[in-house]
Amino acid sequence: MTTASSIVRPLVSGMVRPITGSQTTTQVIILAGQSNMVGRASFDGGASYPDGVAQYDRNGQIVAASAPLDHHDAIAGDMGLDLQFAIDFKAAYPNVDLVFLPAAQGGTGFSDGQWGVGEPLYADLVTRANALFADNPSFQLGAILWHQGERDSGLASYRDELEATIVGLREEIAVASSATPFILGELLPDFSDASAENAAVNTTIQDVPNRMMYTATVDTTEPTRLASIGDGLHFDAASLRLIGSRYFDALPVARANKPTVPGIVTDLSAMAENQQVALAWSAPMTGLSPITDYHIERSLDGANWNTLSDAVSAVPNHTDSGLTNGTTYFYRVSAINAVGTGIASATASAMPDAGAATILSTNFACTTDDGTSHSFSDIDMGDGGTVFIAAACRGDTSADALSEMTIGGQTATLLELNKAYSNYIRFGYVTNAPAGAQDVVVTHGSVQSRLGIHVWVLGNVAPASAVAASGLGTDNAIDVFADGLVLGVATSINPASQNVDWIGLDERTEWTNYGDSFGSASADRSFAEDIEAQAVSISTDGNYRMTSLVSLTKA
At residue 280, the 3 state secondary structure works out as strand
Q: In a 10 Å sphere around its CB, with 0-12 CB exposed, 13-18 middle and 19+ buried, how is residue 389 labelled?
A: buried
Q: What is the number of H-type helices and E-type strands within the chain? A: 8, 31
Q: In a 10 Å sphere around its CB, with 0-12 CB exposed, 13-18 middle and 19+ buried, how is residue 42 labelled?
A: middle
Could you tell me the end-to-end alpha-carbon distance of the chain, in angstroms, rounded to an integer?
Answer: 78
434, 396 in Cβ contact below 8 A?
Answer: no
Per-residue HEC secondary structure of 10-54 comes to CCCCCCCCCCCCCCEEEEEEEEEECHHHHCCEECCCCCCCCCCEE
Cα separation, 543 vs 503, in Å, equals: 18
DSSP 323: P
Q: In a 10 Å sphere around its CB, with 0-12 CB exposed, 13-18 middle and 19+ buried, how is residue 120 labelled?
A: middle
pLDDT the model gives residue 19: 38
pLDDT the model gives residue 397: 63
Percent of the chain as helix, strand, coil, to the nearest 5 = 15, 45, 40
Cα separation, 2 vs 21, in Å, equals: 10
At residue 379, the 3 state secondary structure works out as strand
pTM summary value: 0.59
pLDDT the model gives residue 18: 35
Cα separation, 213 vs 178, in Å, equals: 8
Q: In a 10 Å sphere around its CB, with 0-12 CB exposed, 13-18 middle and 19+ buried, how is residue 10 labelled?
A: exposed
Sign, CA torsion 72/74/80/82: positive
Task: Identify the CA nearest to 150 among candidates 115, 109, 117, 118.
Answer: 109
At residue 122, the 3 state secondary structure works out as helix
Give the amino acid at 38: V
Cα separation, 9 vs 2, in Å, equals: 12
List, in sequence order, the alpha helices (H) in 212-283: 237-256
Cα separation, 325 vs 304, in Å, equals: 20
Bridge partners (DSSP) listed for residue 426: 391, 417
Q: For 207-229, b where at least 16 C-beta lie within 10 A, e where not — what string?
A: ebbeebbbbbbbbbeeeeebbbb
Chunked mean pLDDT (size 10), the chain, 555 residues: 26 33 79 98 97 97 96 97 98 96 98 98 98 97 98 97 98 97 98 97 96 96 97 98 98 95 96 93 93 97 94 94 94 96 96 90 92 94 96 78 92 94 93 96 89 95 94 95 96 92 97 90 96 96 95 93
pLDDT the model gives residue 252: 97
